[in-house]
Amino acid sequence: MSNITETLATLLETDGAMAAAVVDSGSGMLLGSAGTGIDLDAAAAGNTEVVRAKLKTMKALGLKDSIDDILITLSTQYHIIRPLASNPEVFIYLVLDKAKSNLALARINVKTADANLGL
């Protein structure tokens, strides 16, 4: 669990980061969370459905591919969802203040977190 805690703390150092979580999409439960400004329990459950829907659509389309990340752009926030390369049933979730963040750098930070998490 400390690896998750360290990973989330590092993600929160990203410019504009508000909250971050690691989520088990099999259950929709948080494995770890950090930050403020959003109900991460509700976000974990809701974004689990987003990941499941995308995987179902990919299967229906016959795509033999994996999700690198899913970006949801709101008027004031970015939400990045990244299934782990080593365990696609678990995903990293990062919420950013759109006005204070660098989206490209944030995506790189989430990719790095994925590589370092080791779940």
**Predicted local distance difference test score (pLDDT) of residue 2:** 59
Taking CA atoms, 57 is separated from 27, 62, 87, in Å, by 20, 9, 19
For 52-108, what is each residue's pLDDT tens digit?
999 999 999 999 999 999 999 999 999 999 999 999 899 999 999 999 999 999 999
Of all residues in the chain, the percent with pLDDT exceeding 90 is 88
Model-wide pTM > 0.85: yes
**Predicted local distance difference test score (pLDDT) of residue 1:** 46
Rounded Cα gap, residues 65 and 62, in angstroms: 9
> What single string gives the DSSP state of each residue in 67-111?
-S-EEEE-SSEEEEEEE-SS-TTEEEEEEEEGGG--HHHHHHHHH
**For 15, left (φ over 0), alpha (ψ -120 to 50), or beta?**
beta
Any idea which architecture 2-117 has in CATH? 2-Layer Sandwich (3.30)
Domain boundaries, the chain: 2-117
Helix (H) or strand (E) holding 8: helix 2-11
Residue 39, pLDDT above cutoff 50: yes
Mean pLDDT value across residues 48-53: 94
**Predicted local distance difference test score (pLDDT) of residue 32:** 95
**Predicted local distance difference test score (pLDDT) of residue 82:** 97
The end-to-end CA distance of the chain, in Å, is 10
Residue among 27, 7, 17 at smallest CA distance from 116: 7
**Predicted local distance difference test score (pLDDT) of residue 33:** 96
Residue 118, pLDDT above cutoff 80: no
